[in-house]
Amino acid sequence: MQTIAVVGASLAGLTATRSLRDQGFEGRIVVVGDETHAPYDRPPLSKEFLAGAVSEEDLKLATPEDDELSAEWRLGNPATALDTGDRAVVLDDGERIVADGVVLATGARAKNLPWNLPKGVHTLRTLDDARALRDELVVGTRLVVIGAGFIGSEIASTAVGLGVEVDVVEAAPVPLLKALGTEMGEVCAGLHATKGVRLHTGATLAELVGREQVTAVRLSDGRELPADVVVVGIGAEPCVEWLHGSGVDLDDGVVTDAQGLTNVPGVVAVGDCANSHRNFLGAPRRMEHWTNALQQPAVAVSALLGGSYVPPAHHEVPYFWSDQYGHKIQFAGRRTESSTAEVVEGSVDSLDFLVLYRDQEGNPEGVLGIDRARSFGRWRRQLAGRLPAGR
């Protein structure tokens, strides 16, 4: 291979580039990014960065050593097409990057409401989003967050710490229902209450009030929540429209095998845009987890280069974390509709505990910790024992 194009310049794209060099690729690497910013870390955008505790400089992912990657960066140049005939990535300025290998790492974007939106309505995914939201979250502002998922809950947590009045609207009966189940969702609902954030569950949005500037959020039951700022936190969708018609299999993202290989030879996909087979789940799953974007590229790059890299087993156990109201929430493994949750350490009432999710046979398949980092780490590794032999 002479040239490899990495499409996407966030955590997965940067990590893929590092992995290419770590695994001995000495050819040309071109990294394409739709944002003008050099790679930066997104998790702090809803937390420390929004709170003003860390700077843009602190968010940078690249180190001085990354200069040695000798990659060519095309930042602010979205890819518009993949021509699988000669494996060329086409950019919006017309440049064609003909490559022997392509790493798809275009990530996901925040979903938004399908309406004309007045001023004061935000989503949060990018550095520019975070700058704009931060400017509006001043003391005494009234914020309504639509969606009590991870992003929505973290923003609510950060905002209340800034002296903002916060309401959170959630359609489901408890937050994080799908990820954590009813019981633990109720615990997360309780976290909001600890700092005086008003959580409205089972509540759906009817409309945004205000023509030029948003002034309130009206719910389906007729209630109206006054708002100076609204954040829409209703999930993300993969950035793969540019691949339509390319011949790359798409289904809620780019379809890949467990290694990240797509149906097109020489093309792999990693990170938030990849709907990859997961050995731990025995099924495909698109994951928007930071750890996945960090760990998946080494495997996919090895497959692209014909290498033999095998990751540590626990890398295959899905893992995410969230910081809310001063608590560190960690989850690994999986929870299904048939899982049962059991508190094995600490107590729920003190918001300091470890919960095991067991499958129908009673075997652990997931672990949730709140402020229990040490024992959580052990369980996360033990869960790797569920992986099929010879994965």
Partner 1 sequence: MILVGAAADIPVGESVRVQGSVAIAVFNADGTFYAIDDTCTHQDASLSDGWLEDCAVECPLHAACFDLRTGKPSGPPARKPVRTHEVVVDDGQVFVNETVEVGAEVAGVLGEGVR
Does 65 sit near partner 1 (CB under 8 A)? yes
Tokens of 129: 């989003």
- The least CB distance from residue 362 to partner 1, in Å, is 26
Q: Residue 20 in contact with residue 305, Cβ under 8 Å?
A: yes
Task: Kindly indicate which of the ranges 75-83, 126-134, 207-215, 291-299 contains the residues binding partner 1, using the contact rule CB under 8 A.
Answer: 291-299
- The least CB distance from residue 332 to partner 1, in Å, is 11
Give the Å distances, CA to CA, from 106 to 35, 60, 269, 303, 322: 11, 18, 9, 19, 23
DSSP-assigned letter for residue 261: B
CA gyration radius for the chain? 22
- The least CB distance from residue 108 to partner 1, in Å, is 19
* Binders in 40-59 for partner 1, by CB under 8 A: 41, 44, 48
* Strands ordered across the beta sheet of 72-75: 72-75, 28-33, 3-7, 101-104, 267-269
Q: Which of 26, 27, 36, 68 binds partner 1 (CB under 8 A)?
A: 68
Q: Which amino acid is at 74?
A: R
* Strands ordered across the beta sheet of 229-232: 121-122, 229-232, 142-146, 165-169, 198-200
Task: Kindly indicate which of the ranges 185-193, 299-307, 346-354, 370-378 contains the residues binding partner 1, using the contact rule CB under 8 A.
Answer: 370-378
Does 18 sit near partner 1 (CB under 8 A)? yes
Does 161 sit near partner 1 (CB under 8 A)? no
Q: Which of 339, 336, 317, 300 is nearest to 388 (CA)?
A: 317
Task: Kindly indicate which of the ranges 87-95, 241-249, 290-298, 342-350 contains the residues binding partner 1, using the contact rule CB under 8 A.
Answer: 290-298
Does 330 sit near partner 1 (CB under 8 A)? yes
In the complex with partner 1, which residue's Cβ is closer, 58 or 93?
58
Q: Residue 14 in contact with residue 296, Cβ under 8 Å?
A: no
In the complex with partner 1, which residue's Cβ is closer, 57 or 349?
57
By CB atoms closer than 10 A (0-12, 13-18, 19+), residue 143 is: buried
Tokens of 71: 């990659």
Does 157 sit near partner 1 (CB under 8 A)? no
In the complex with partner 1, which residue's Cβ is closer, 39 or 147?
39
Does 64 sit near partner 1 (CB under 8 A)? yes
Does 150 sit near partner 1 (CB under 8 A)? no
Q: Which residues bind partner 1 (CB under 8 A)?
A: 15, 18, 41, 44, 48, 61, 63-65, 68, 290-291, 294-295, 321, 328, 330, 373-374, 376-378, 381
